[in-house]
Amino acid sequence: MSTNPLSKLPLKGSGKGPKFPEDATGSGVQDYIEEVEELVSDNTGINADDMKKEALLRYLPISVKRTWKALAGFENTQSYETYRKNILASYDHAEVVSVKGLNAMLRSYRHIRVSDLDRILDLNREMGPYNKGLVDTKIIANREIVQLVLGTIDEQLSASVWKKLVRAQLEKANVTPAANPTGHVWSADDPIGLKELLQELELQARLHDSRNRVMGSNNMNSHQVSNKTQADDIRVKEEQRESHLAHLKDVFAMVQKDSERCHKELIETMMKMHQEVLTQKVTPVYQPRAYSNNMNGSQGQQSFHARRRESEGMIRDIICWFCGEAGHLSGRCLVRQKYLDEGKIIIRGTNVCLPSGQIVYYTAGKDCQKVQVDQAIRDTRQSNLLRESLSEEDLAGTPLEELEAYVVALKERRRMTSLIQSLRLGEYEEDDEQEVQAVNMVQTRAQQARNSNLENASRQGF
């Protein structure tokens, strides 16, 4: 069974066969045909002209394949060479070496550097057709195309090449002012030829590449040494940091242990003192014991009752800071516990506070904390009653003069209350003696008025 020799060619879209250029130009189509012919030459079974024509159409897009089939020479009566010439004649070959194509090609080599040897070699290769098609045919001047190439490459590379070539051309012009071997005629406006520029670019790129190869091994060794040194430094720093952290942890642990020990000792000392106060475990002064055969139990009982009376006397000397009563401390005060349950006070730490958070302090010789709490509760109730009795509507409908008189009365009442409190505590200055006398007179008249009211009420009852 015979097989088609074209089946031995790579399939379309496999990536192994020729690829038809999207923007088909004369040179691109020619390159495509040459690649197909190389594949055909490797297969000895493809000898007929019709098979070669089918091989050309094998990798074409559908639209291009229809166009090529319509060209003259595709018939079996025409040879492959005739068909090939007709295909190439249908494309414009002048477009390849146009100024527009030159600019498009140079854009792909923008910012090329001296280290890009492969790109410089590709640029030198692709500039060949443009040199023949544009410079030799005088379509574009040599000076313009040189400026285009210099503007494409890196600025540092461009300055180096320009400086070297201009200096060399000046030396050649001073010795032999004739044309140089490259065919470029030197002039002040056009000192560098295109071929000389491309040759200098390739030369500098190759020199740079050779220097890197020679210095590469030395740089690699030095880089390895530097990396090792940096790694050692980092390891030393990490060890130092870990040592400092361990030292800080040890110091913190020691401080914490000392703090716990001191706190424990303080608590033990306080508990011992508390037990000694409550149980009266005070070591008495040593007195020699008198021995007697007539000794009875009355002496032991007398000493026991004496110690008991002394203990009870010491307990009675304890004054509660909250309720002001004797015989217990504020931590065991039932009145304080009652106020705490009713929400009249709160305990923050060891301080007695009002619900608002204000601390109630105790001062010896003054009111106890319970009296201060009751006074604060009465003041709060009075202020709440005042807020409830006076609404915004009441204030809005009251004349301004009446409100001012009410404010003055409140201030006077507050001052009188403060004087009465100072009088109770016995804390007033000499400047306030007249005001204190006035307060005493007011209190005396008020007491007389209450007594007379009571007498009248008793008489009316009879």
Per-residue pLDDT of the chain (462 residues; tens, 9 = 90+): 457 888 888 888 787 888 888 766 677 788 888 888 888 888 888 888 888 888 888 888 888 888 888 888 888 888 888 888 888 888 755 445 678 888 888 888 888 888 888 888 888 888 887 877 777 777 888 888 888 888 888 888 888 888 888 777 666 655 554 445 556 676 767 778 888 888 888 888 888 888 888 765 555 556 566 667 777 788 888 888 888 888 888 888 888 888 888 878 877 777 777 677 666 544 444 444 444 444 455 555 555 565 556 555 555 668 888 998 888 888 889 999 999 999 999 998 888 999 988 899 888 778 899 999 998 888 877 666 555 555 556 556 666 666 667 667 777 777 777 777 776 666 655 555 656 666 566 566 667 767 777 787 777 764
* Domain limits for position 33: 10-92
Query: Is residue 268 a part of any domain in this protein?
Result: no
Q: Are 121 and 128 in contact (CB under 8 A)?
A: no
Query: Is residue 366 a part of any domain in this protein?
Result: yes
Number of domains in the chain: 4
Give the integer Cα–Cα distance in Å for 461 and 407. Answer: 41
Q: 73 and 140: one domain?
A: no
Q: 314 and 354: one domain?
A: yes
Q: Which helix (H) or strand (E) holds 432?
A: none
Q: 64 and 200: one domain?
A: no
Q: Domain end: 338, 359, 389, which one?
A: 389
Query: Is residue 98 a part of any domain in this protein?
Result: no
Residue that has been written with the tokens 């201060």 in this structure: 372
Q: Domain end: 363, 389, 415, which one?
A: 389
Query: Is residue 431 a part of any domain in this protein?
Result: yes
Contacts of 266 by beta carbon, 8 Å cutoff, 6+ apart: none
Give the integer Cα–Cα distance in Å for 239 and 229. Answer: 15
Query: Is residue 99 a part of any domain in this protein?
Result: no
Query: Measured on CA atoms in the order 419, 425, 427, 430, is the torsion positive or negative?
Result: positive
Query: Is residue 276 a part of any domain in this protein?
Result: no
Q: 48 and 182: one domain?
A: no
CA atoms within 13 Å, Cβ hemisphere of 337: 5
Query: Measured on CA atoms in the order 323, 326, 328, 329, is the torsion positive or negative?
Result: positive
Q: 116 and 247: one domain?
A: yes
Q: 343 and 232: one domain?
A: no
Q: 115 and 233: one domain?
A: yes
CA atoms within 13 Å, Cβ hemisphere of 47: 2
Q: 139 and 236: one domain?
A: yes
Query: Is residue 263 a part of any domain in this protein?
Result: no
Q: 85 and 170: one domain?
A: no
Q: 79 and 34: one domain?
A: yes
DSSP string, 384-400: HHHHHHS-HHHHHTS-H
Query: Is residue 461 a part of any domain in this protein?
Result: no
Torsion of CA 55, 61, 65, 66, to 10 degrees: 160
Q: Domain end: 198, 232, 258, which one?
A: 258
Q: 396 and 359: one domain?
A: no
Q: 127 and 254: one domain?
A: yes
Q: Are 53 and 87 in contact (CB under 8 A)?
A: no
